[in-house]
Amino acid sequence: MRKKKWPNLSLIIIATVLLWLKTYIVYKTSFEIKIENWKQEFILLLNPLSFILLTLGLGLFMKKNKQRRYILISSFIISAVLFANVVFYRFFNDFLTIPVLFQASNMSDLGSSVSELLNWNDFLYFTDFAVLVLLISLKPRLAPYRPASKIYQRVYFLAAIAIGFFNLALAETERPQLLTRTFDREMLVKNIGTYNYHIYDLFLQTKSSAQRAFADGSELADIKNYVSTKYKKPDEKMFGIAEGKNVILISMESTQNFVINEMVNEQEITPFLNDFIKESYYFDNFYHQTAQGKTSDSEFLLDNSLYPLSRGAVFFTHSGNEYHATPEILKDKGYFAASLHANNKSFWNRDLMYKGFGYDRFYSLPDYQVNNENSVGWGLKDIHFFEQSVKHLREMPKPFYAKFITLTNHFPFELGEDDQFIEPYHSADKTVNNYIPTVRYQDEALKIFIERLKEEDLYEGSIIILYGDHYGISENHNEAMGELLGKDVTPFVSAQLQKVPLIIHIPGHKGKTISNVSGQIDLKPTILHLLGVDTKGSIEFGTDLFAKNKMDLAVLRDGSFITKNHVYTKGICYEKDTGQSADKSLCEPYMEKAKNELEYSDKIIYGDLLRFYEGADPKSAMDNSQ
């Protein structure tokens, strides 16, 4: 009796095993995925398998040469997707999303930032692909082709699907409602895997695209009721205190609050800011709330008091939406609105988004003289940027609302020795070391700019607002940051490191430190109230920072939040004073509120709901009712 031959699936099996093991090794070596128990470790090991089996299993339906080509191409593409996530994670401590891929036009401007993220040994991420090429080229007998019968095809795919459902079931036991209630991409990757996460991301992108098409004004009712409960009556002493004055906003690139009043090498990192806060309102519990859009997200928060999206950048994904931004509102007060940034106008899609916000003028790269001597890293050095911008300020109609976006303190934090006002920090981490001199350079640039404003008689007639746009040092550098700060960077400390400086200088006002918990979402109502524009009736999620009964709450884009007494992050509630874990019930009153805020804001953006909104016109007179 002739022995029955089993189909030889060796090439597919070899490719599957190589990709599976490589993915798990990358999880453990290139990502900082927190594992708490053996079940989570098993899920992490298991989660790439179903996707790889299903993808490579399509080769079972192909003839010899087509199958081999398909396996090679598929393996390379899967490896490339994994490697792209590794490179992205090295700086952003996050995973790629489809909206981020829409921002590919930014890549041409990244320059040294990208090269800094690439390592000489990155070719190892494609080792399995090289093994397959060598196997097919030199040892084809080790992987001979035999067609698989239909029954074996069915068994193969049923097994692959079963593994996928088993993986998802296990994940649900560890994280209930995983696919409906989480804002944390690391949680998704840990439980369903990098590749399945990208499939889920594709689903979310399709869903978000459909939301606008089917949205209607009725969805605004609950949101209007919610934001009306958040509105706080402005402080009578502060409302309109800066009416008619110019507004100068300065976005301090990658500036975290830990540098304020901090010393390195027995020198102050920010000597000018340390002095400037003594004659300004300084908010020392102010948090950035950006996500993948970074600086553009901070601009979105500033002008709209809406949260950015958790995936991609609103500036790219929803530039055609209707917004009710600060520049547009201030037109009724006779303001000229401008943004100044010595970069390509299309970077972050600013040229289109600014039109939607109501900016009258965007001073971009063609409006500046940039050469090799006055530029570094991402472009024009801050000192030269501010100096050249003074001319633009002189030419603007008054009063103006002018936003400056700095560049020098940007990853990879490059600076020539001639521009260093402080020695780099000394550790094994180049990024942390170089961050200190670029922050110090920015501080010097701000000092020179303020002096120029005084010389041009613009200082006394302007309120000046300086704010950090987002973090500069990601969690990938926790070891060096722990050395710098003199303490371990736990998830609690990491959440606290999301503080960024906020300094509001109002001519004639004495300096004061305000320690209420707040975030970038609070900037819009604060600025409008200072200028005498009440925001009652507006759809926004921020609260005037000077309001006497403002709630101490800052909701971060990943669902973490900070209150007066607690910090909630990574699913753990911490005592703010001690950093020790606390009973989760102490954070529960705010958990639903944080979730609602993010979801309501997402609905507005995805559905373009402000096109249906006919709110009360901004009022210049104080409304005594609350």
Type of residue found at 584: K
DSSP 504: E
Cα 14–chain centre separation: 38
Q: Give me the helices (H) in 412-503, please.
A: 430-455, 478-485, 491-496
Coil/strand/helix, residue 476? helix
The closest alpha carbon to 539, from 228, 84, 251, belongs to 228
| CA–CA separation, 401 and 385 (whole Å) | 18
Tell me the two tokens of residue 243.
């009416």
Q: What is the rounded (10 degree) CA torsion for 587, 591, 594, 597?
A: -150
Catalytically annotated residue among 23, 255, 295, 406: 295
* Residue pointed to by tokens 């993948």: 292
| CA–CA separation, 322 and 319 (whole Å) | 9
| CA–CA separation, 84 and 172 (whole Å) | 27
Backbone angles phi, psi at 456, to 5 degrees: -90, 10
Give 218: exposed, middle or buried? Use CB within 10 Å, 0-12, 13-18, 19+: exposed
Crossing angle (nearest 10°) for helices 294-304 and 350-357: 10
Residue 543 annotated to the active site? no
* Residue pointed to by tokens 């339906």: 61
The closest alpha carbon to 295, from 464, 377, 204, 410, belongs to 410
Give 37: exposed, middle or buried? Use CB within 10 Å, 0-12, 13-18, 19+: exposed
Q: What is the rounded (10 degree) CA torsion for 252, 255, 261, 266?
A: -110
Tell me the two tokens of residue 44.
């992490």
Give 180: exposed, middle or buried? Use CB within 10 Å, 0-12, 13-18, 19+: exposed
The DSSP element (H or E) to which 117 belongs, if any, is: helix 112-117
| CA–CA separation, 602 and 413 (whole Å) | 33
Residues 6+ apart with CB under 8 A from 590: 553, 561, 563, 566, 568
Beta strand segments in 255-386, E = 263-264, 267-268, 281-283, 286-287, 336-340, 361-363, 375-376, 379-380
| CA–CA separation, 422 and 440 (whole Å) | 7
Give 107: exposed, middle or buried? Use CB within 10 Å, 0-12, 13-18, 19+: exposed
Q: Known catalytic residues?
A: 295
